Amino acid sequence: MASNSIHAHGVSGSELCINDVLRDDELRSVLGRVETEKDKETFGLVCKRWLRLQSTERKKLAARAGPHMLRKMADRFTRLHELDLAQSVSRSFFPGVTDSDLAVIANGFTCLKILNLHNCKGITDAGMKAIGEGLSLQSLDVSYCRKLTDKGLSAVAKGCSDLRILHMAGCRFVTDGVLEALSKNCRSLEELGLQGCTSITDNGLIYLASGCQRIRFLDINKCSNVSDVGVSSICRAFSSSLKTLKLLDCYKIGDETILSLADCCGNLETLIIGGCRDVSAEAIKSLATACGSSLKNLRMDWCLNISDSSLSCVLSQCRNLEALDIGCCEELTDASFQFISNEESALSLKILKVSNCPKITVTGIGIIVGKCSSLQYLDVRSCPYITKAGLDGADFQFPESCKINFNGSISEPVVLL
Query: Residues 175-228: pLDDT tens digits?
Result: 999 999 999 999 999 999 999 999 999 999 999 999 999 999 999 999 999 999
**Predicted pLDDT of residue 10:** 46
- Residues pairing with 17 in the sheet: 5
Query: Residues 80-103: pLDDT tens digits?
Result: 999 999 998 766 666 789 999 999
Mean residue pLDDT of the chain comes to 91
- Residues pairing with 82 in the sheet: 60, 114
3-class DSSP string for 110-126? CCCCEEECCCCCCCCHH
Q: For the residues 331-345, what does the mean pLDDT come to?
A: 90
pTM: 0.88
Give the pLDDT band of residue 35 (cuts 50, 70, 90): low
**Predicted pLDDT of residue 57:** 64
Q: For the residues 93-114, what does the mean pLDDT come to?
A: 91
Give the pLDDT band of residue 47 (cuts 50, 70, 90): confident
Above 90 in pLDDT, residue 133?
yes
Q: Are the CB atoms for 252 and 279 separated by under 8 Å?
A: no
Strand spans (E) along 230-319:
244-246, 270-272, 297-299
Residues 118 and 140: their CA atoms lie apart, in Å, by: 9
- Phi then psi for 144, rounded to 5 degrees? 65, 20
Dihedral of CA atoms 87, 144, 183, 290 in degrees, nearest 10, equals: 100
Within 10 A of 325 (CB to CB), how many other CB atoms are there?
Answer: 27
**Predicted pLDDT of residue 51:** 65
**Predicted pLDDT of residue 11:** 45
